[in-house]
A and B are shown apart, each in its own frame.
Chain A
Amino acid sequence: MSKTFLNAIYVFAALLILAAFAFKVFQPIQVLPRMRIAPAYQFTDQDGQPLTSETLRGQFALYSFTYTQCPAPCYNMAETMQEIQSRLGEVDLGGIPVTFITISLDPDRDTTEVLKAYGESIGADFNHWKFVTTTNKDLLKTIVGAGFETYYENIGDGSIRFDPGYVLVDGWGVIRAEYRYATEVSDADRILRHLGVLADEVKNSKGSTKLAYEAAHLFLCYAP
């Protein structure tokens, strides 16, 4: 092997390493992590219609958790969700639909009629915002607890202790983001920004650009 050829290989290798470092440091492409597979389920929505995880393939799904009889100092996901619903037009989603799913943790009292009245009271657009639950309590605990990893527990006096949270699932049924506690940026701002990041990945990861997005996953270039 000639010496110039060998030198060219060294220079090429050095440039490759530098490029990898630059990619990690400057992060020209940011993605959301593929955390784990979202649980499969069949729920009943506020109109008594079944809603399954398969129905939501190919669109983004944002899950939130609550129950309508929650007493006063209860965490209120409605405000954040209302803000996201009204500001969704600001995000360039490239035509990918987004569905909000609010899972009730109290199937005994939150019947379809109660959920429908609750949805109307907080101004939900039922085409894009579903209020669901299932009367099979073991299944509900498995889906919410083991699947979405969100804690809730009946504490006896008719109230439910739960950790507030939002879970963002992509069109392949993979959990891409979880929001479990208040951060410096409001939940609504972060969720809207993350929806844009997800849509960018779907729109642009075709052909060779797909490799760049896969590199962003490999180098953990995660959007804050």
Chain B
Amino acid sequence: MSAQNMHIDSYERNWMIFSFILLAVFASAIAVAAFGMEIQVPAPEERVDPGTVATDPNSPWSNPGLREIAPGKYDAYILARAVPQWEYLPKEITVPVGSRVTFYVTSPDVQHGFKIQDTNANFMVLPGQVSKLTVTFDKPGAYNFICTEFCGAGHGVMYGAVIVTP
């Protein structure tokens, strides 16, 4: 029996066509988002030494926190750690509304996550890698950030907040 006269029920065929169209739409949506709208994938930057990243005085994470590099433009170096307790350093940062904040997050011990609620920031934090993402805060309020990767007994209490003042 050749392919031409193989019987496929029209109902089944329509669903097959629909699912292929769906695949094509999603594939092109990824391409448009990546190349056309410059949506950034939270990619690991470069490898760092997790043993010294929090202690080396030349490392920005030895003094984690917010730095204003220009009016309305900030760098936030955040350390996610499980030792001596599960926490983010710093636990809270405060920026005025409309600020553009670039987060550089890394871990000196185990794998963590970093998700800022009500934004598109959500990425893994791996020891030995730096995760970088830029977020613009257009509305005032408290944006909690939480750990999204199970990292031990204190995983549930690992959180912090970005306070956006009007």
Q: Which residues of A pack against B, CB within 8 Å?
A: 73, 75, 141-142, 145-146, 149-151, 153, 163-164, 180-184, 218, 224
Neighbour of A181 across the interface among B35, B59, B67, B73, CB < 8 A = B59
Is B57 a contact of A73 with CB atoms below 8 Å? yes
Q: Contacts of A150 on B, CB cut-off 8 Å?
A: 69
- Report the minimum CB–CB distance from B107 to chain A (whole Å): 14
Q: Contacts of B71 on A, CB cut-off 8 Å?
A: 146
Is B48 a contact of A141 with CB atoms below 8 Å? no
Closest to B34 in A: A220
Q: Contacts of B59 on A, CB cut-off 8 Å?
A: 181-182
Q: Contacts of A151 on B, CB cut-off 8 Å?
A: 67-69, 75
- Report the minimum CB–CB distance from A125 to chain B (whole Å): 25
Closest to B57 in A: A73
Contact A183 B47, CB 8 Å, known A75-B58, A149-B75, A163-B60: yes
Near A by CB (< 8 A), chain B positions 46-88 give 46-49, 52-53, 56-61, 67-71, 73, 75
- Report the minimum CB–CB distance from A70 to chain B (whole Å): 12
Closest to B75 in A: A151
Neighbour of B70 across the interface among A146, A164, A184, CB < 8 A = A146
CA–CA, A153 and B49, complex, Å: 27
Is A142 a contact of B70 with CB atoms below 8 Å? yes
Secondary structure of the A contact surface, majority rule: loop
Verify if B158 is at the interface (C-beta below 8 Å from A): no
Can you name 28 A-B pairs with beta carbons within 8 Å?
Answer: A73-B57, A75-B57, A75-B58, A141-B70, A142-B70, A145-B69, A145-B70, A145-B73, A146-B70, A146-B73, A149-B69, A151-B68, A151-B75, A153-B68, A163-B67, A164-B58, A180-B60, A180-B104, A181-B53, A181-B61, A181-B130, A182-B49, A182-B52, A182-B59, A184-B47, A184-B48, A184-B49, A218-B35
Q: Contacts of A146 on B, CB cut-off 8 Å?
A: 69-71, 73
- Report the minimum CB–CB distance from A45 to chain B (whole Å): 24
Q: Contacts of A163 on B, CB cut-off 8 Å?
A: 60, 67, 75
Q: Contacts of A153 on B, CB cut-off 8 Å?
A: 67-68
Is A181 a contact of B60 with CB atoms below 8 Å? yes
Give the 7 A-B residue pairs with the shortest CB-CB distance, closest first: A146-B70, A151-B67, A145-B70, A145-B69, A183-B46, A184-B47, A151-B69
Near A by CB (< 8 A), chain B positions 32-52 give 35, 46-49, 52
Contact A182 B48, CB 8 Å, known A151-B67, A164-B58: yes
Is A149 a contact of B73 with CB atoms below 8 Å? yes
Closest to B72 in A: A146
- Report the minimum CB–CB distance from A5 to chain B (whole Å): 17
CA–CA, A149 and B47, complex, Å: 21
Is B70 a contact of A182 with CB atoms below 8 Å? no
Given contacts A145-B73, A183-B48, A224-B46, 19 further A-B contacts (CB under 8 A): A75-B58, A141-B70, A146-B69, A149-B69, A149-B70, A150-B69, A151-B67, A151-B68, A151-B69, A151-B75, A153-B68, A164-B58, A181-B53, A181-B60, A182-B48, A182-B52, A182-B58, A184-B47, A184-B48
Q: Contacts of A145 on B, CB cut-off 8 Å?
A: 68-70, 73
Closest to A147 in B: B70
